[in-house]
Every structure is written in C-alpha cells, then in structure tokens.
Amino acid sequence: MPGSTGPRRPLRVALVGHGFMGRAHSLAWRAVAQAFDVPATPELTVLCGRRFDAAKEAAARWGWSEAASDWRDVVERSDVSVIDICTPPSSHEEIASAALASGKHVLCEKPLANSVAEAFRLEQAATEASRQGVFAMLGFNYRRVPALVFARRLLADGRLGVLRHLRAEYLQDWLASPGAPLSWRLRREDAGSGALGDLGSHLIDLTCFLTGQDVASVCASTQTVVTHRPSPNGDRRLEPVTVDDAAFLQAQLSGGVLATFEVSRFATGRKNHLRVEINGELGSLVFNLERLNELEFYDATLPAGEHGFRRILMTEPDHPYLAAWWPPGHMLGWEHTFTHQAADFLEAIEAGQQPYPSFADGLHVQRVIETALRSAATGAWQLVPGAGNAGPDPAAAQHAQTESTSGRWRQ
C-alpha cells in the first residue's frame, strides 16, 4: 500500500480497555509499521483500565509504556494523539465524545453505541471534529479481510451483474451451556443487544460494504434461549439475561436485493463461523471466515461445460494488503485484519481524509439493529430510518441495482 517515502513521525496512541479486543489492537499497533509503509510509527504510550493493577500487567505484557486507571486523564494528555476505545459499547459515547472534543483521533470498536440516540450524537460529534482535521473510525475489522475486499472489487466491476440475493450467517457456541456465567455481553445496559448487536452488526456492515446498498427494511425474530445464568461473582444466585441469544432477519436492501441474516451464540460446534453468499445474474460469491484466505467464485458467463464454483486463493501480491506480507501460498490469519485496519487508519489521518467505516456507518448499523428489535416485538416488517427505503414488502423489490447516495461504504 502507498505510504510515506520520508522519515516516519511518531504517533502516540492510548488504548482504553484491555480485554480480548485490547489484545488484538495492541498486536496491530506493534506490527503495522513493520509490515506497511505507513506515514507514522505508532508509539504505544498508555494503556488504561478500570483496575490499575490489571492495566499495568496488560501494559507490560503487550508493550505499552505505562498504565492508567482514569480515561478522563488520558484523553486530556498533550502527549497522546489517538484514543483507541476497546470498552463495552455502553461507554463509547462518553469516551469518544471527550476524546474528539480534546482534539484526539478516535478508533472505536463496534458496535458504535447502545442506542440510536447515542450513535446519532457520536456521529454529530465526529462530523464536527472532522471539520477541524480530527477523525473518527469504527472498528469493523472484517472489512479488512483480503478476500472480502477482493469480493467488493468484483462486485464493483459488475462481475455478478444485477444482484438478487444475499445470505449471511454468523454462528458461535460459547453460550451453549446453561451453566456459562453471566457477563456484560448478556446485560442490555452494557451491551445494548445480544447476538444481534455483537455478531449481527458485522453482517449488516459487511452487507453495506460489499454491495454499496443500505439495509432498507427488516422483519426479524429473536430468541433468548437461556433466560437466567449463574452470577459472575461465583455465588449460587441466578441473574436474568436481558438480551437476545439468537436472531433471524429477513431484509431488503435499498437497491432491491433480498437478504437474510442469521446470528446465534448457541450454534453448537460453531466457534466463529461467518459466511456470506451473494447471488447475481452473472455469478455468485461465497466467503467463509473459517477459510479466510479463500473466495469462491461462480462465473455464469463461462461455457456451461466450465460451470462450477472455483477457489481463489488470496495470497498473491496483487490481492488486497498481501504485498506487505509473505510469498504466495503463505496464509494470513484473523489477527492481520486489525493490522490492516490500523494501516488504513494511519493513511487516512495523514491524508486528512475521513477513514472508513465512519461513525455515520455505525449509526446506520445501529438503526438497523433497533429496527430489527422493534420488528421482533411487533412481528411486522419495519422500515429502517434514514435508509434508501424500497419498502417493507419484499414483493415490491426494485430490480435496478443502485449505489447508496449517502457517500458511505467507500473504503
């Protein structure tokens, strides 16, 4: 990827939150300047967590210079330029708004917020900050899978013709046991929603990224499989689960494409199964995260005797991001998506351009999630506010494929 040809300047980063995502982001910040010709070298300046001892231990393990326990002090520091937020979504608005107001660039993990109201305020804050050259990006890392970026190019080049159907599923089983204890991900006040927000947000964003279309209307069903779980405190109490464990959505995109989304954290045997299939008049594409270096392509324009899905192995230098890594045939892993994300973020900041996905993208995803929850409660099709609506009735689908006019999904 293009980068600076002169000496790299340091860019001091602060990480807020040090759970699962904090570890992935730390690895990316350490690796990005080694793999890519980025214009700035990230300096892992400070890691912040609620408990100082735990933050200090994580900082030492992951290569951060120091630890802190109050994010408010961190966002005000003059020696920090980027705030990387890896906390539960209930805290995103407060931290990101304060960081942007302090002139710090923001990288925030998905989903953007717990509600449309919070997401809207964050989008407004990010828009205002961008006028001052301060930018915010949302962390949907699957946009940086080389196979999915390549799939988007094939779609943009018209290789599938007019799109007809999209099917996406994201299945896990880490909650399959009723004895698994309650966590913040199972509390509405912390997580906003359950599998729908945690896993479904990825599918919604990928759909918009790949097709260039908004999710315009949905009809959804949700289920909470286990309604009470053991307290995380280790006592014998059972506490209520206040979010969904699984969800199924029918959807219509703004260009008339019919889509289905299925998410579950109870799909026994599925650890991190994300699969997307797109069917068009001229062909089809299939991606499966469990084979993330591969893309399946069916080209219906070939002679009938040559029909069949063929595997494209994503390891060539001219495939997205691959020139920075290893010789052909040497595979990349899940963690590389975060390094690609960091590289794109740094390039956009240096260029003074909005990095994508933006907080506006996150607002659309949040609107789809809340519309789906409303649909599940009413049992009816619902229009997604602010989208290019084609109508809630699939029979009314428009067959002309259109690009979103909102300026989103560009990267």
pLDDT at 6: 56
Q: Where does the pLDDT of residue 191 fall: very low under 50, low under 70, confident under 90, or very high at 90 and above?
A: confident
User: Could you tell me the fold of the domain covering 9-142?
Assistant: Rossmann fold (3.40.50)
Q: May I ask the CATH class of domain 145-396?
A: alpha beta
Lay out the sheet containing 283-288: strands in order across. 310-313, 294-299, 283-288, 273-280, 163-171, 258-264, 246-253, 215-223, 382-383
Region for 140 from its dihedrals, namely left if φ exceeds 0, alpha if ψ lies in -120 to 50, beta otherwise: beta
- For residue range 100-120, what is the model confidence (pLDDT) as tens digits? 999 999 999 999 999 999 999
Secondary structure (3-state) at 125: helix
Dist CA 236 CA 84 (whole Å): 37
pLDDT at 402: 28
Q: What is the pTM of this model?
A: 0.92
Read off the tokens for 60: 């030492």
Number of Cβ within a 10 Å radius of residue 307: 13
Amino acid at 110: K
Q: What is the mean pLDDT of the chain?
A: 92
Q: What does the domain layout of the chain look like in residue ranges?
A: 9-142, 145-396
Answer whether the bond into residue 357 is a cis peptide, omega within 30°. yes
pLDDT at 173: 97
Diameter over CA atoms, the chain: 66
In 102-241, alpha helices (H):
116-130, 146-156, 188-191, 195, 201-211
Dist CA 345 CA 3 (whole Å): 12
pLDDT at 389: 57
Dist CA 52 CA 50 (whole Å): 6
Higher pLDDT pick, 235 / 181: 181
Secondary structure (3-state) at 295: strand
Alpha-carbon distance values, 286 to 64, 140, 151, 201, 300 (Å): 39, 19, 9, 19, 14
DSSP states of 49-99: -SSHHHHHHHHHHHT-SEEES-HHHHHT-TT--EEEE-S-GGGHHHHHHHH
Q: What share of the chain is helix, strand, coil (3-state, %, to 5)?
A: 35, 25, 40
- For residue range 237-294, what is the model confidence (pLDDT) as tens digits? 999 999 999 999 999 999 999 999 999 999 999 999 999 999 999 999 999 999 999 9
Tell me: pLDDT of 404 over 70: no
- Whose structure tokens read 């979504």? 89
Per DSSP bridges, beta strands 105-109 and 163-171 are unpaired
pLDDT at 400: 29
